[in-house]
Structure 1
Amino acid sequence: MQLSALTLIIPDYDEAIAYYTRTLGFTLIDDIDQGSKRWVRIAPSANAQTGIILAEPSTPAQRSAIGTQGAGRVWLFLQTQDFAADHARMTKAGVTFEEEPRQEVYGTVAVFADKFGNRWDLIEYA
């Protein structure tokens, strides 16, 4: 088995697609109109094993979860093979990192929050 996707609650499909594809450089894999909702899947690259399903909230409880699904913790991990290049590209695209890159025993890492408040690690494993 493998994890194929996780759901990320966002306020608006088109706003989220634009942010994740233009700012973070993700690939839009699927955008299928299902009538009352859309099946929108993005991934860091077209051949990524795990994707993110973008979902607009359908209840007030879901709306309140936007940006807080990780309860304030880093809960999304974006792995890179070239930390310096991706960090520079993302910074130029408008991503604000919460800290300077740091070296840990497991690799190089820096935390950023996406446009919707979700906290991520950009990480290059050692």
Structure 2
Amino acid sequence: MIQSIVHIALVVKDYDEAIAFYTGKLNFTLVEDTYQPEQDKRWVVVAPPGSVGTTILLAKASKPEQEPFIGNQSGGRVFLFLNTDDFWRDYHEMVSRGIEFVREPKEQDYGMVAVFKDLYGNLWDLLELKENHPLMKRMK
């Protein structure tokens, strides 16, 4: 059996400001932006540059009970993990684009890591996993 996680839904306040942040600040690719008239919403998918795995579905809060979760989908924990092939290149680029890092870069047993916020306050790890990390073996 072969299965994979295709999308992770990220609740956002506004489609266009979320697209601008992810494509402009994080250099993600806009994979799809399709209007769905029957539901009066858009299907907006972004992905990190060069990624062929899981994508992020930018899902606009459509009900008042969804709004409190914008920026706090994981109760204040790191929610998403962005692995890179060059930590320092991406860290410096992100800083130059105004990304707020809330935990400075640190060498860990598994690799380099720093924590940043997205435009709504969700916490992300920027990672460069070491070559011997079990996930790196899966990515090859």
TM-score of Structure 1 vs Structure 2, range by shorter chain = over 0.9
Residue 41 of structure 1 aligns with an amino acid whose one-letter code is V
- How many equivalent residue pairs? 126
Partners of 1:100 and 1:51 in 2: CA distance: 26
* Percentage of matched positions with identical amino acids: 48
Q: Hey, which bits of structure 1, 4+ residues long, moved more than 6 A?
A: none
TM-score, normalised to structure 1, is 0.97
Aligned-pair CA distance for 1:47: 4.0
TM-score normalised by L of structure 2: 0.87
Cα deviations by residue, 1:69-106 (Å, 9 ceiling, x for unpaired)? 01100010000000000000000000011122001100
The residue number in structure 2 matching 1:16 is 18
Gapped regions of structure 2 (runs ≥ 5): 131-140
Report the Cα distance in structure 2 between the residues aligned to 1:89 and 1:48, rounded to whole angstroms: 22
Give CA-to-partner distance per residue, 1:26-80, whole Å, 9 cap, x none.
Answer: 0000000112000000000254211000011111111111011011000100000
Runs of 5+ consecutive residues of structure 1 not aligned to the other structure: none
What is the letter of the counterpart of residue 48 of structure 1? V
For the aligned residue pairs, the C-alpha RMSD in angstroms reads 0.9
Hey, what does 2:102 align to over in structure 1? Answer: 98
For residue 121 of structure 2, what is the aligned residue in structure 1? 117
Q: Which has the higher contact order (CA 8 A, sep 6+)?
A: 1
